[in-house]
Structure 1
Amino acid sequence: MVRTGFAALALAALPLLGGCGEAEDKQSAPVTQDDATLTLAAALGANKTLGTLQSAIEQSELSGVLDGRASYTVLAPKDRAFAALGEDGAALLEDEQRPVLIAILRDHMLPGHLTLEAIGAAIDQRGGPVTMTTLGQTEVQFARSGETLTVTMDGGASARVSGTAIAANNGVLIPIDTVLLPPRG
């Protein structure tokens, strides 16, 4: 079921903290690379490790959202995250699964332009994990352990930030190592 509506997001008001440089998947703190010349859709298309996500967004007919003026932060599962789903992941790209795919993708999107540095600053300011609401009305929690930033979906699915995020002119792509799926019920 696709849920609609936007949730208030306190972190959207945080200032954009510029970051530059490259971060390896596991070797250093996650950073955000600023590339305001690209839209989210163009940044997604330029990233070689996010091809399956790009296909999923095209299949779900959400591509226009990532080319629009509104600002979003996309928790972007890498290709190997989709591959880990096996046949279930491939089935999501079938036409009859479009409503399910849209719901899953909405749970990977946050309103606003949230860099990894801003999320980290919010965790520091709060003294612990920070909870946000996705466009699918699911709560996700960002936490940090050492240099590792994780995001956990309400219901238990968890992913690590896996590489350098890209700040485009209409949002941020944050690469993660797992597709966040709702609990099976």
Structure 2
Amino acid sequence: MIRKLALITYYLILKRLPNSTFPFFGPVSEKLRYSCCRHIFKECGKNVNIGQNARFGTGKNIVIGYNSGIGINAKVPDNIIIGEHVMMGENVTVFGSNHAFERTDIPMTKQGFKTYPPVVIEDDVWIGNNSIILAGRIIKKGSIVAAGTVLTKDFPEYSIIGGNPSRLLKSRLDIAKPKHE
């Protein structure tokens, strides 16, 4: 009952409150959204930021770790798994399903939906503004998804990913290696 009341309160009131950076009311709005979403999500770590107008369906199977966030105007499925220290930019869209289209003898509109395993965003990930993450993807630990990326496949840990379709731009591990002169 508390979960349903929290979900109604979030969608009717709290999602419309100012963003966390808005003077005075922003931090209060952030705390109110967090307090509400702790009752909606399956698991919710501390210091979680749910951005203004974020949409997450019923949210009943969402797991989100400590110090992570769902970005402003983001749309995520209600079964996403988000690790710790995850930054998500504005207008990120994460798909949890897609239209079935395997059969050619009937219209695609009559084929229903194909479900996928939940999208998993591991720890210490940064997802840039306007990125699109397709259903079933795993974003590995320490990765950066550049703004505007359409994430179509999985990449190794500490990858910097960009483009449409997505491609490996470089590894953060290569950047982190000290250079000897």
Band the TM-score falls in, shorter-chain normalisation: under 0.3
TM-score by length of 2: 0.25
TM-score by length of 1: 0.24
Larger RCO, structures 1/2 (Cα 8 Å, 6+ apart): 1
Q: Which has the higher helix share?
A: 1
Structure of larger gyration radius: 2
